[in-house]
């Protein structure tokens, strides 16, 4: 069974990643480690920096970075999602959106490293920003995010419902499918300098 080490300080993310990878026959181990999050314009740059910081770990290593993007705010808070939320909370976003389009999306970039080789996988979920926060489940921006086709926020839904469609689950499912394909390829070694950018997810 292939194994991957997921590096993060967040136990909730570890459980989500582990559960998503089980059906692909991938075992997930957890390395609880805080990774650098440099200021960058793209999630993929942050993921690259995280992959640099795990070069000491052996075998397959998995990291990820996520953000909430609001097109009518020129993509804000985006790569600044964590920092903004901890400083200001939801209120400024709700205020700014009173007279703007409320569409938004969450995006995750998952990065896999194996020795010098690295790959990235993108997952995304579209939705809109609620007029006010609702629900107590989940974390981060879940109380203000209503996925497309839903009438409630992520935070009002059970964890399994969120995990069935979440940006993170979608990115990690791509990692799982990739692993399944590789382990079916009769033990071939990873290609040098491999890279994977699924066209359907952007
Ligand atoms: P990071 O990937 O942990 O750096 O997440 C960046 C920011 O996006 C954090 O503030 C999280 O709260 C937010 N975020 C990431 N994923 C989710 C999610 O699934 N729901 C709500 N907020 C999220």
pTM of the model: 0.89
Average pLDDT (149-170) is 94
- Whether ligand 1 lies within 6 angstroms of the CB of 123 is answered as no
Ligand 1: distance of its center to the CA of 112 in Å? 19
Residues with a catalytic annotation lie at: 65
Q: How far is CA 69 from CA 41, 103, 121, 145, 182, in A?
A: 12, 9, 18, 11, 32
pLDDT tens-digit profile of 55-103? Answer: 999 999 999 999 999 999 999 999 999 999 999 999 999 999 999 999 9
Domain residue spans of the chain: 3-183
16 lines ligand 1 (CB under 6 A): no
Q: What is the mean pLDDT of the chain?
A: 90
- Ligand 1 within 6 A of CB of 142: yes
For residue 125, give both structure tokens. 């979920």
CATH fold for the domain made of 3-183: Maf protein (3.90.950)
The answer, yes or no, to whether residue 151 has pLDDT greater than 90, is: yes
At 106 the pLDDT is 98
């Amino acid at each position: 069974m292939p194994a991957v080490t997921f590096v993060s300080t967040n136990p909730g993310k570890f459980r989500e990643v582990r559960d998503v990878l089980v059906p692909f026959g991938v075992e997930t181990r957890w390395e609880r480690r805080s990774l650098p999050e440099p200021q960058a314009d793209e999630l993929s740059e942050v993921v690259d920096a995280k992959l640099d910081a795990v070069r000491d770990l052996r075998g397959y290593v998995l990291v990820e970075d996520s953000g909430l993007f609001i097109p009518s705010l020129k993509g804000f808070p985006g790569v600044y999602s964590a920092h903004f939320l901890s400083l200001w909370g939801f209120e400024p976003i709700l205020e700014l959106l009173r007279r703007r389009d409320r569409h938004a999306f969450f995006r995750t970039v998952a990065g896999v490293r194996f020795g010098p080789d690295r790959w990235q996988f993108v997952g995304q979920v579209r939705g809109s920003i609620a007029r006010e926060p609702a629900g107590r489940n989940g974390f981060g921006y879940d109380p203000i995010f209503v996925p497309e086709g839903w009438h409630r926020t992520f935070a009002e839904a059970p964890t399994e419902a969120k995990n069935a469609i979440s940006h993170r689950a979608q990115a990690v499912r791509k990692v799982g499918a990739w692993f399944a394909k590789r382990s079916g390829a009769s033990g071939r070694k990873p290609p040098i300098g491999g890279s994977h950018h699924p066209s359907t997810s952007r």
